[in-house]
């Protein structure tokens, strides 16, 4: 199927059927994967998915449908979208699809040919490098997945948007289990990259083994520490910070007034050490593309600058409500997996959230902490983005006393409120890493509570 032809056909057929405006999003994703089970490449997988998403607009009525076009034609899809638009209620907030803007850069700027061509046998060999490095008499790699996707999408609308972008995504998730005399420990490592060949699988394997074995000697934490500093590894801190900031600055949440940062542009909402950027053209970002999923050119948007809220993030729907321009944040794709992206409607969310690297190494940060905890891994780094509350179980952590790392601990919860913590001094590391749709370094937050079990 020719993606460009299909997108144009969907829009023109919609217009012929009376659509006042129409938008077609057509995507092809080809993925090779390997699943690791019990130290071996258990499943080799190859998949190709082509899907379309069509917005059919009748004035202020919007109908959306999607299809893989396996058992139906573009005409069937248009007919269905039209019937949905016809019965939809008018959305008074809808004014228009985005207009065409000049798009710069080549469509394949974020595409790595070698990664796109890697089949499951190449991935299996990469995985086995990791497994062999991580494994020992006491350590195994029971679970893992590595996949490399090449994706290409086209967006066409009635207002002249006709844009495409092509990129590659590599995702991996591996766990290691250490078992010594009945005591067990687990390590977790993820791979996020746009190029398979930028990933050091041996280093990942070493880290996995170190994590799993260090947990074995963890001591139960039985105290309750108040007002301590939590130093969070990039994987954990970026997930929490990304969830919080991403929710609070989405114009969707601002317009519906559920964001705690509604009407706060220009206000100081965090410590001066904190700056956050949304970068749709991030060099490392997995969402990087020439255009967003509405065909609007991507850009760099300063969200928080030295603690001051500078901007929200907009898709066209939410921007139009405030007579502003979209910031290129109308997205359907995800950073982890692009399969199924055609089936979702555009949502207003970050592309790649970046926190610029600071000047301090992790060791520097730890040396500045009188009493705290260094956390490499939570069960899952959750935060409630509406209230900022979090209480997360620690899986891999060491306590910090007088600037030094001490005992490895287990059975403890880190409790706090991230909206409050970011108002206190934040220490920002120099070790920026990619984790999902975030590129952030190690960060240290004050005002947290460590509760033993």
Partner 1 sequence: MLDVMGKAVDTIDDRDVSFADIRHQDLATTSIAVVNGALRRLSRSTKAGTVARVLVGECWGQSSITEPFSLGILENLLSKAVKMAKHNAQHSRMKINLSGIPVHQETSWQETKEDPSNIAEEEKLDFVMDLDKAQKVDEKIVNTNSMYADSKVIYRLANSEGSRLEWDETRTRVAVRPVAKDESKVQYDYAIKSGLAGYELVRVLDPNEFASKCARDAIDLLSATKAPSGEVTAVVDGDIAGLIAHEVCGHASEADEVVKKRSFLSDLVGVEVGTDQVSMVDDGSIPGLLGSFPFDSEGTPSSRTTIIENGIFRGYMHTLETAAVMRTNPTGNGRAQDYNRRIFARMTNTFFDKGTWNNQEIIEDTKDGLYIIKTHSGMEDVVGGGVQATSLKGYIIKNGELTQLVRQLAIAGNVLEILKTVDAVGNELEFSGGTCGKGEEDWVPVTSGGPHMRMQLVVGGG
Considering only residues 6, 120, 158, 213, which one is a binding residue for partner 1 as defined by CB under 8 A?
120
Residues 294-333 as x/- pattern, contact with partner 1 by CB under 8 A: ----------------------------------------
Burial of 439 (0-12, 13-18, 19+ CB in 10 A): buried
Residue 44, interface with partner 1 (CB under 8 A)?
yes
| Residues linked to residue 121 through DSSP beta bridges, in sequence order | none
Write the DSSP symbol of residue 223. Answer: -
**Cα–Cα distance measured from residue 362 to residue 429, given in angstroms and rounded to the nearest whole number:** 6
Residue 363, interface with partner 1 (CB under 8 A)?
no
CA distances to 78, 172, 206, 254 from 188, rounded to whole Å, are 45, 11, 11, 35
Residue 269, interface with partner 1 (CB under 8 A)?
no
From 5-13, 300-308, 339-347, 363-371, span contacting partner 1 (CB under 8 A) = 339-347
Write the DSSP symbol of residue 296. Answer: P
Residue 337, interface with partner 1 (CB under 8 A)?
yes
**Cα–Cα distance measured from residue 262 to residue 268, given in angstroms and rounded to the nearest whole number:** 13
Q: How many CB atoms lie within 10 A of CB 110?
A: 24
User: What's the N-to-C CA distance of the chain in angstroms?
Assistant: 57
Considering only residues 8, 105, 415, 431, which one is a binding residue for partner 1 as defined by CB under 8 A?
415
For partner 1, the binding residues in 135-174 under the rule CB under 8 A are 140, 142-143, 145, 173
Provide the H-helix boundaries in 233-361: 234-249, 251-255, 316-321
From 17-25, 275-283, 349-357, 414-422, span contacting partner 1 (CB under 8 A) = 414-422
Residue 180, interface with partner 1 (CB under 8 A)?
no
Q: What SS3 state is found at 449?
A: strand
For partner 1, the binding residues in 372-411 under the rule CB under 8 A are 378-380, 382, 384, 386-387, 389-393, 395, 411
Q: How many CB atoms lie within 10 A of CB 300?
A: 15
Write the DSSP symbol of residue 410. Answer: E
Rounded to a whole number of angstroms, the minimum distance from the CB of residue 57 to partner 1 is 12
**CA 349 to chain CA mean position, Å:** 10
Residue 181, interface with partner 1 (CB under 8 A)?
no
Residue 417, interface with partner 1 (CB under 8 A)?
yes
Kindly tell me which of 89 and 359 has the beta carbon lying closer to partner 1: 89
Rounded to a whole number of angstroms, the minimum distance from the CB of residue 258 to partner 1 is 4
Q: Residues in contact with partner 1, total (CB under 8 A)?
A: 85
Considering only residues 4, 5, 16, 46, which one is a binding residue for partner 1 as defined by CB under 8 A?
46
| Residues linked to residue 241 through DSSP beta bridges, in sequence order | none
Residue 99, interface with partner 1 (CB under 8 A)?
no
Kindly tell me which of 179 and 364 has the beta carbon lying closer to partner 1: 179
Considering only residues 2, 75, 93, 227, which one is a binding residue for partner 1 as defined by CB under 8 A?
93
Which phi and psi (to 5°) does residue 251 adopt?
-60, -25
Rounded to a whole number of angstroms, the minimum distance from the CB of residue 180 to partner 1 is 13
Kindly tell me which of 208 and 366 has the beta carbon lying closer to partner 1: 208
- Which residue matches tokens 């990619």? 434
Nearest-CA neighbor of 427 among 358, 375, 372, 332?
A: 358
Residue 68, interface with partner 1 (CB under 8 A)?
yes
């Amino acid at each position: 199927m020719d993606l460009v032809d299909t997108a144009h056909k969907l829009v023109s057929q919609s217009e012929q059927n009376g659509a006042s405006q129409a938008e077609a999003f057509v995507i092809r994703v080809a993925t090779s994967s390997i699943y690791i089970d019990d130290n071996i490449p258990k499943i080799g997988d190859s998949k190709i998915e082509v899907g379309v998403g069509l917005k059919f607009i009748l004035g202020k009525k919007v109908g959306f449908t999607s299809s893989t076009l396996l058992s139906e034609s573009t005409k069937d899809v248009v007919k269905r979208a039209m019937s949905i638009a016809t019965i939809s209620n008018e959305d008074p907030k809808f004014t228009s699809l985005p207009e065409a803007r000049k798009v710069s850069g080549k469509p394949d700027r974020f595409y790595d040919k070698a990664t796109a061509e890697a089949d499951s046998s190449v991935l299996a060999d990469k995985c086995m490098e990791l497994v062999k490095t991580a494994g020992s008499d006491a350590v195994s790699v029971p679970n893992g997945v590595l996949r490399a996707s090449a994706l290409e999408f086209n967006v066409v609308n009635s207002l002249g948007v006709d844009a495409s972008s092509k990129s590659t995504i590599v995702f991996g998730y591996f766990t290691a289990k250490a078992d010594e005399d009945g005591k067990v420990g687990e390590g977790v490592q993820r791979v996020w990259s746009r190029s398979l060949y930028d990933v050091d699988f041996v280093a990942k394997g070493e880290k996995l083994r170190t994590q799993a074995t260090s947990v074995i000697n963890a001591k139960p934490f039985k105290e309750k520490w108040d007002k301590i500093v939590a130093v969070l590894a990039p994987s954990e801190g970026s997930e929490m910070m990304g969830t919080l900031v991403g929710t609070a600055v989405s114009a969707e949440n601002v317009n519906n007034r559920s964001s705690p940062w509604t009407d706060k542009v220009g206000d100081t909402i965090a410590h001066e050490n904190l700056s956050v950027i949304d970068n749709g053209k991030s060099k490392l970002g997995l969402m990087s593309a020439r255009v967003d999923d509405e065909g609007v050119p991507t850009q760099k948007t300063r969200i928080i600058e030295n603690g001051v809220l500078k901007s929200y993030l907009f898709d066209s729907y939410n921007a139009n409500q405030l007579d502003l321009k979209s910031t290129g944040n109308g997205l359907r794709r995800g950073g982890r997996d692009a399969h199924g992206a055609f089936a979702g409607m555009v949502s207003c969310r970050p592309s790649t959230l970046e926190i610029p690297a600071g000047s301090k190494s992790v060791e520097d940060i730890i040396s500045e902490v009188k009493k705290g905890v260094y956390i490499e891994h939570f069960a899952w780094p959750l935060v409630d983005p509406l209230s900022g509350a979090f209480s997360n179980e620690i899986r891999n952590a060491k306590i910090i006393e007088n600037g030094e790392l001490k005992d490895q601990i287990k059975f403890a919860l880190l409790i706090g409120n991230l909206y409050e913590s970011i108002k206190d001094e934040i220490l920002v590391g120099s070790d920026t890493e990619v984790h999902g749709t975030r590129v952030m370094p190690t960060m240290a937050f004050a005002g947290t509570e460590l509760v033993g079990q």
